[in-house]
Structures are given as structure tokens and as C-alpha cells.
Structure 1
Amino acid sequence: MTTEVDYYELLGIERTADDTTIKSAFRKLAIKYHPDKNGGGKEHEAKFKAINEAYDCLKDPQKRAAYDRFGHAAFQNGGGGGGRQHPGFDAFSDIFESMFGEFAGGGGRQRQARGADLRYDMEISLEDAFHGKETDITIDVSGPCEPCGGTGASPGTMAKTCGTCRGHGKVRAQQGFFMVERPCPTCHGAGQTISDPCKSCRGEGRVDKTVTLAVNVPPGVDDGTRIRLSGQGEAGARGAPPGDLYIFLHVKPHAIFEREGTTLYARAPISFTTAALGGEIEIPGLDGELHTIRVAAGTQSGREVRQRGAGMPVLQGRGQGDLVVRIEVEIPTKLSARQKELLEEFRGLETGDECPVSHGFFDKLKKAVGG
């Protein structure tokens, strides 16, 4: 009587283990008990076969559900996974397919490679980034060949199933213990051959074209924002899916505003009288509105005044950032005789309390140098 070891116990995992845990446990045990690594001993060969059988069952959701309910009886008398020529090969190939890519696999028709993705660089103004814009772009791209409908075969003819790989796009070769799969050298993985290629596209199924595409730039985009136009890249060969077109936005520098995220920064020079006495200045925003900035009396150069909600829109969201105005006090360079007279009179009335920072600085400086 044959003793049937529980699959979960065999792999050393809980019955609630997820797919990642199951695969990880199998990987470790498969490497440990591989016959080539252990001199081909019968004990290790039997162990290797058993863990392959366990993984083959537990990796398949339907087989696992049946095993959880009925145990080994689910696969007896023709049930479940009977009739396999190479028990455990598909299971072990899953590991090597994830490690080496081209090795092993499902044996179905090879999927043709999709067309290449394309990049288009678009320059926009800060105003465009603020309001958004709709525009058209013209690009050179390969598209499906119209005479052959993208098949690559001359009109009235059809591609034939490749006789080398029988339409699978892959061929198998035995290398020691492993069965290796590679792209078919005859059809190059397409699974089909064309005896009479289309003269317009020379059997490629695609030709170069110039197309015009509409692009919608949403409000709030920033420098480096990427817009994806699905299916607008290069056409795939012989009817394979097309790639995508990625539009990278580049926002030109603005004469007035600088941007950090949704915050706009602007420099505002004001007269020294406005800085001393206080007042208001108006700054036109990107939204077309005049924003009144209140300047407090005694404002120093370099002070920042924040205007809430006057910055850039939030991309694909609600609300706006802020406008930050950096004050720069401008000292007059041209004065009339009367203005000079008034300033001289003001200087004569100074006590030092008007500018406590500078007054205190010179007092400290005198003390520091001894008098």
C-alpha cells in the first residue's frame, strides 16, 4: 500500500499559503532535491518528483480547490491531472521561466510583439499649463498597411501556419534534464509564414505614415508631465497590437512667475515710501484677475506676502495653490531738489529708533572693536 503524503506538508507550508509562498517553497525544495545536484540517487529523484507533483497541484486554483476538498482521491480514477507525459515539468518550468524568460513555457501560440512606444516632446507656456489647451500634433509613425489589412500577405492570399513550429512560435530542444523552448527560427516567433508578401509593405503589415492627432493638455500640468495616447504608437508587425504614444510636456520659463508645484512666485519692486508707510499693489495673475497685495507699514526687502488661491490649479483635482509675492524695496536714484530737501529734513529728525536693526548693528560693531 502506497503512503500518500499531504501536499502542504510535503512543501512545508500552511494550507492558507498564498501563491508566492507556494512558489518560493517549491523553488527551495526543487533546488535542494534536484537529481543532477545529488548524484542522481533514487531517493532524491523520488522526492523531486513528489514535490513537483505537489506544486503542480497547488499552483492551479481549480486543482487546489479539488485537493482541499477531496484530497488525493480528487485525482484518482482519471480525475484531475492524469495523463501527463512529464509530471512536474510544467511546474518546474514556471520557476525557470521567471528566472530566464525564454526557457520553457505554456506551449501555446507565441504572442507577436506589440509595436514600439513612441515619445513626443511638446513645449507649452505657463499660461497653457494654467488653463490647459487642446492642440493637434503631426508625427511620422508606422500604421497598418491598407492593401493587405495589416496581415503582410498579398491581397487575396493568407499567411500559413508555420510548418516548423506548427503555429506555436516556439521550438523545443532537450538540454540534459531540461526541455528548452526558443523562438522558432523559421517564423521568428510569429507562428505563421507568408509565401506571397504584400508589395506595399513587403510583408511587414505596416507602412510609414504621417498622422495628425488631437492632444488635450489638462489644467495644472507641470514640466515633465507625461500624457499617454493609447494605441497611437508604432503599429505591430502583421496585425500585432500597436504601441502607445507618450507626450512629454516642457513648460517654458515665464517672464514674471516662477513655479514650485502649485505655488507661483513673483518679485514685486515697491518704492521705499510704500515700504515705510504701507499701501497696496496690484499684480495680474495667470487667471486674468488683478490680485491686490497689501503691504504693511515697515515692510523690509525680501519679505514674502502670500495670496491664497491665486496659484496653479491642482492637476486632475480641485482648488488652486497660492501666489507668493517677494517684496523688493527700490531705493530712488533720481530725486528732485524738493525731494532731497524733504529727505534731508527727515534725516535731521532721525533718532535711530526708526531703523532699530541697523542702529543696533552699528552699536554692536562699535563694542566689538573696542569703542
Structure 2
Amino acid sequence: MSDTDGMRADWAQKDFYAVLGVKKDASTDEIKKAYRRLARANHPDTHPGDTAKHDTFKKVAEAYDVVGDPAKRAKYDEMRRLYASGGYPGGGAGGFGGGGFGGQQGGVNLEDLLRDGGGAGGFGDMFGDLFGGGGGGRRRTARPRPTKGSDVETSATISFTDAMDGVTVSLRLSSETACTTCGGSGGKPGTRPHICTTCEGAGFVVASMGGSFSVNETCPACGGRQLVYDDPCPACRGTGRGTSARTIQARIPAGVKDGQRIRVRGKGAPGENGGPPGDLFVAVKVSPHRVFGRKDDNLTIDVPVSFDELALGAEVRIPTLGGSPVTLRLPAGTPNGRTFRVRGKGAKKADGSYGDLLATVEVQVPAVLDAATRAAIEAYRDATASKPLRANLFEQAGA
């Protein structure tokens, strides 16, 4: 009996449902919730030095790796059923001693089943799919898997007005792509590849984390490509990757905010082996405006006014961004710093509607006064001298 066969027999006897504390007919969501609860309670990072919790975490992860995957779970359930009924050598009443791995029981020999595959859809296929091998340890012909290209990030600086209206920008990108000399294979042109002997064409290797817990890692020999060349490509030195520069047009939507990231699907690095390209993420930088500001989906503007306009009331025309001016009606006695709302003159929202324009009035004090203006202000001061503004200030302050 090989070590691999022994591992499979060991797994056949484990009750992963009991490890997770769920019933055999538990739903996928129930299994996931149970796994997350147990993983948090026993994670090594939160319990350093607690070997018991570490062992529990490994068992929980091992169980969820199988029953948390619908395809693996179906094969595992079938294997457990055969084991319990005695149809699997070593299962049921016979035990390992009854039939043994090398013996015959009911005309079934486990080594023959694992070696020959037990016919189409037999034990070899089931175990091979469940535990990562082919039927009885035979590997299928390596077929490089399609891989999605990596995502690319860049930035674009646009004006305040373009951010409000939307704009199409040209972006010069440099991204990783398939080597033009070898077409991404990593081999010297004219040479033939062979299946990677390190991972046997799987593209990954199994790394043991201690006990029965293990994880899949990208094969260090072939980089996950499953095939290797004895003569690497001289241009990319066997990596299969190169760098390409290109210019694309990206649409920045209306209403975009400073610092917002825009996702442009399919404009990232090209994929490998027929895989789809990655995405492009554009970090938008919006230049400030000399008059307008922004607060969420609203635009803001500071409106200079005189004292008499606030005291007596007035109609004040103000600009809007990209539209016709509007008139603010200031009632008599308007306090300095009051904000007026002009509906629908703000930034465009995601639903197509618009925010508002928030206009704040600010009294402007003249730096230089002519004789007539000074005389008028002095007359106002004399007229209001009997009503000092700060009459109750000290009393209210507790002085």
C-alpha cells in the first residue's frame, strides 16, 4: 500500500461533519458559518502557543476544504457510504484486517481499483478528483489553464468642470504582457516543452502545514504553467512575460469625486492561455475651482455682500457652474454667514439626479473709505450708540 493510498483510507474514516459540528444534510451556508465560527475561535494568530487550538484549527480547515466544496462533498459522501456499507475495503464490519489493502474481499482489491481506476467513474476517478491525483496516481495530460490578466492601476488629473460634466481621457499605460518572442510560453522558439516533473503537470504543489493540514502553492519550477522548457526564451529568460506600452481611452463619469477610483473592465494586462484580461483602475485627481467648491453631491460658493444688503434686504445674482445665473433673495436682517440652497445646481449623482448649490453670504468690509462713506458709517454709529451690541456679553460670560 502506498502512502497516498493510506492517506485516502485515513480520510475515508474521518467524519468531517462531526469536526464542524453540523449534520450530514447541513446546507452550504450552515457549513460555512460553522467553519468561520470555529476558525475564529481556534486561529493560531489569536492563540499563540496553544497547540490544542492549533490542532483543532487544522482539523476544521481540513474538513471545510472537503465538505465546503459541493463537488468534493458529493464524492466524500459517496466514499463514506461505501466505507460504512463494507463496499470499500477496510470499511464496515470487515475493517482493514478483514479485506486488507492487498487482499480480496467480495472480489474487490483496493490496489487494483486505485491503480486501474476501477473503470470509468470508479474509485480511481473519485479519489483522484478528491485528493488531487489522477486515477491511481496517474496524471492527466497537462493542459495549461486559462489565467486572468493582472489588474493595472494609474491616475488621471482632470479639471473641476470636467469632473462635473464627465470626460474621456487618454491614458498611456505600461503593463505586463506575454513575451512577444516566445508568445508567453517561456521557451526558446523552436523548442518543445515537457511536463513539469516537480508538480507533474498540476501547476501547483502541496505544502504540508503539519499534521493532516496542507495547502496548494504555485509550483516554483514552472510558475503554474504546468510545462517547462529545457532551453528558456532568451528575451524573457523563461518567465514568459514582457512589458507593453499602449494608449487607451477611458471614460470618467460625470460627478466623479476627487480621489475616487474608476474601474474600467477588460483594460488591464492581457490574460494567459486564452484567459480574460484584467481590469484598469483609474485614481481620479480633481483640480480645485477658483469659485466653486464641493461637499458630497452639492456645490458650494461664497457670495460677497455688503452690510446694507443684509440689513435692508436685496436681490443678488450669482453664477452657477455651466449654467445660467440665478438670483438670491436676501430678506432684511439676514445674518452674516447664512447659507441659501439652490435646488438642482450641484453635482450629478449616480442615479442621474443632481445635488444642490449651497450659497453662503459673507459681508465684505471695505479696506479704504472715502469721505462720504466714512461720514455715513459714523452717522450710523452715532444712531445706534444707545443700543450697544455687547451689552450682555460680560454678564453672560459670568464676569
Same fold (TM over 0.5): yes
Q: Following TM superposition, by how much is the alpha carbon of 1:115 offset from its aligned partner in structure 2, in angstroms?
A: 4.5
TM-score w.r.t. the length of structure 1 is 0.67
Distance 1:272 1:248, change over 3 A: same
2:391 counterpart of 1:362: yes
**Structure 2 portions without partners, runs of 5+:** 1-14, 43-51, 53-58, 89-117, 133-138
2:83 counterpart of 1:83: no
Q: Following TM superposition, by how much is the alpha carbon of 1:330 offset from its aligned partner in structure 2, in angstroms?
A: 1.8
- The aligned residue for residue 251 of structure 1 is 286
Residue pairs, 1:1-371, within 5 angstroms? 13-14=22-23, 17-22=26-31, 24=34, 60=70, 72=81, 83=123, 90=130, 114-171=148-205, 178=212, 182-235=217-270, 242-314=277-349, 316-350=350-384, 358-359=388-389, 361-363=390-392, 365=394
Q: Which residue identity lines up with residue 309 of structure 1 in the other structure? A: G
Deviation per CA, 1:152-194: give whole Å up to 9, x if none: 3445555332234331123458898648555434323321112
Q: Following TM superposition, by how much is the alpha carbon of 1:67 offset from its aligned partner in structure 2, in angstroms?
A: 7.4
- Kindly indicate whether the alpha-carbon contact (under 8 Å) linking 2:175 and 2:245 is maintained by their aligned counterparts in 1: yes
Q: Identity over aligned residues, as a percent?
A: 33
- Kindly indicate whether the alpha-carbon contact (under 8 Å) linking 2:301 and 2:358 is maintained by their aligned counterparts in 1: yes
Cα distance in 1, alignment partners of residues 36 and 170 from structure 2: 54
Q: Following TM superposition, by how much is the alpha carbon of 1:75 offset from its aligned partner in structure 2, in angstroms?
A: 9.2
SS of equivalent residue, structure 1 residue 253: coil
Count of aligned positions: 327
Q: Following TM superposition, by how much is the alpha carbon of 1:263 offset from its aligned partner in structure 2, in angstroms?
A: 1.6
- Kindly indicate whether the alpha-carbon contact (under 8 Å) linking 1:142 and 1:206 is maintained by their aligned counterparts in 2: yes
TM-score w.r.t. the length of structure 2 is 0.63
Deviation per CA, 1:249-285: give whole Å up to 9, x if none: 1112222222111122211111222122211222222
Distance 1:116 1:8, change over 3 A: closer
Cα distance in 1, alignment partners of residues 317 and 377 from structure 2: 27
Distance 1:320 1:201, change over 3 A: same
Q: Which residue identity lines up with residue 306 of structure 1 in the other structure? A: R
Distance 1:329 1:193, change over 3 A: same
Greater shift, 108-117 or 71-80, is seen at: 71-80
Cα distance in 2, alignment partners of residues 134 and 145 from structure 1: 30
Cα distance in 1, alignment partners of residues 76 and 198 from structure 2: 38
Distance 1:121 1:182, change over 3 A: closer
- Kindly indicate whether the alpha-carbon contact (under 8 Å) linking 1:275 and 1:297 is maintained by their aligned counterparts in 2: yes
Deviation per CA, 1:118-151: give whole Å up to 9, x if none: 3212112211111110110112223333444333
RMSD of aligned residue pairs (Cα, Å): 4.9
SS of equivalent residue, structure 1 residue 305: strand
- Kindly indicate whether the alpha-carbon contact (under 8 Å) linking 1:10 and 1:54 is maintained by their aligned counterparts in 2: no
